[in-house]
Structure 1
Amino acid sequence: MKFKVVSAVAALAFLAACSTTPETGSGQTGGGAAPVAAPSGPAAGSQQEFMQEVGDRVLFAFDSYSLDSQAQQTLRRQAAWLQQYPRYSVTIEGHADERGTREYNLALGARRANAVETYLESLGVPGTRVSSVSYGKERPTCSQPSESCWSRNRRGMTVLR
C-alpha cells in the first residue's frame, strides 16, 4: 500500500513538471507559446507618449516670457521627438494667468508662444511645422485665485496636429 501512495505522488509530480511552461530566455523549447509581456506605457509615436513621456507644456514666471532651464530641457525633448516623428506639426499655445487686462495677457501669451516656437526652430524643428496662437487668460487650467493656480496657467502648450 505504501508503494502505491508513493508511486501516485511521484506520477502527479512528474505530470505537474511536464505541464509547466519554461521561462522566457531559458533556452528550452516547450510545447506551449512563450508568455507575451504586456506593453507598458503609451505607444511609440502617439499623442499620449508625447504628453506623458516628453511633456507638452512649459511654465513661465510671472510677467515673463523667458524660458528657464527646465523649460529648455522639455523643449529639447519635444524637438527630438518631433524630429523622430515628422508626420506631426504643432501649434504652440501661449497662456497667461488671470491677472492683468485681456489685451495685455493676449500680448504676453503671444510672446510666450513665440519664445517656444523660436526655441524649437533653433533646435532644428522646421518652421513650416510650427505655428502659434495666444489665448491670454481665456483658457485657464485652474480657476482658483492663488499663486499655485496662477503658476499653472502661465504656460506654453505644444499641441500636436
Structure 2
Amino acid sequence: MNIGMKTAMLLAGTAAMAACAKKAPEELPPPPPSTTSTPAPAPAPTPTGPRVGSQAHFENAVNGQNVIYFDTDRFNIDSEDSARLQTQAQYLARYPQVSITIEGHADERGTREYNLALGERRANAAKNFLVSLGVNAGRIATVSYGKERPVALGSNEEAWARNRRAVSVVVN
C-alpha cells in the first residue's frame, strides 16, 4: 500500500470519528432548582408501655386488680372483690373492643369434679357482677380450671387462700 492510500484511509477514519463526536449544545440547561427542602415531619412519638388491649395493659390499668379471692367453699362476691370488679368494669367500659375470659380456680382440697364445679361458680359470679355493672355479657367468657392450675404450691392455709380465685384475662 502506498503512502497516498494510507493517508487517504487515515483521513477518512479521522473524518468518520469526527462525525460521531458529541457537539456542545448551543445553550446550557437552566441550573437545578433550589434544594431548600422542607424539614421532614417529626416522627410520631413511640408509645411507651404495653399495647392497649393487651393483658399487660389491662393489669397496669386496673393496678393488678384482675384477681379476686374467695373463702373456702364459697363463690360470693365480697366488698373487696366488688371494688376490684368495679375497677375492671371501668376499664372494659373505656375499651369496648376488649373481651376477657374469667378463669375460676380452687385449692387442692376436694375432688376434681367438685373443684371444677366450684371454679365455674366463682367465674360465673365474677361475670354476673361485671354484667350487673353494665359490661356486655358477650364480651366475657368463663372457664374453670378447678385445682389444676395453682399459683401457690403447698398444703397450708396460705397456699390454699391464694389458689381460691377468679382471674380476668384479656382475650386477643
Do these two structures clear the TM 0.5 threshold for a shared fold by scoring above it? yes
In the alignment, structure 1 segments of 5+ residues that lack a partner are 1-38
In the alignment, structure 2 segments of 5+ residues that lack a partner are 1-47
- Counterparts of 2:52 and 2:113 in 1: how far apart (Å)? 40
- Where do 1:2-151 residues align within 5 Å? 46-54=54-62, 55-151=65-161
Question: What secondary structure is seen at the aligned counterpart in 2 of 1:140?
Answer: coil
Question: What secondary structure is seen at the aligned counterpart in 1 of 2:150?
Answer: coil
- Counterparts of 1:147 and 1:82 in 2: how far apart (Å)? 33
- Counterparts of 1:52 and 1:61 in 2: how far apart (Å)? 26
User: Contact conserved, 2:76 with 2:122, CA < 8 A, in 1?
Assistant: yes
Superposed structure 1 runs of 4+ greater than 2 Å apart: 41-47
User: Contact conserved, 2:53 with 2:170, CA < 8 A, in 1?
Assistant: no
User: Contact conserved, 2:61 with 2:91, CA < 8 A, in 1?
Assistant: no
The one-letter code matched in structure 2 to 1:142 is A
Deviation at 1:49, TM superposition (A): 3.3
Larger Rg: 2
The one-letter code matched in structure 1 to 2:66 is D
The one-letter code matched in structure 2 to 1:127 is A
1:21-70 alpha-carbon deviations (Å, 9 max, x no partner): xxxxxxxxxxxxxxxxxx6x756654323213412110001110011111
What is the aligned-residue identity percentage?
Answer: 52
Aligned-residue Cα RMSD (Å) equals 1.8
Which has the higher mean CA deviation after the structures are superposed, 92-101 or 45-54? Answer: 45-54
Q: What is the TM-score normalised by the length of structure 2?
A: 0.67
- 1:5 is matched with none
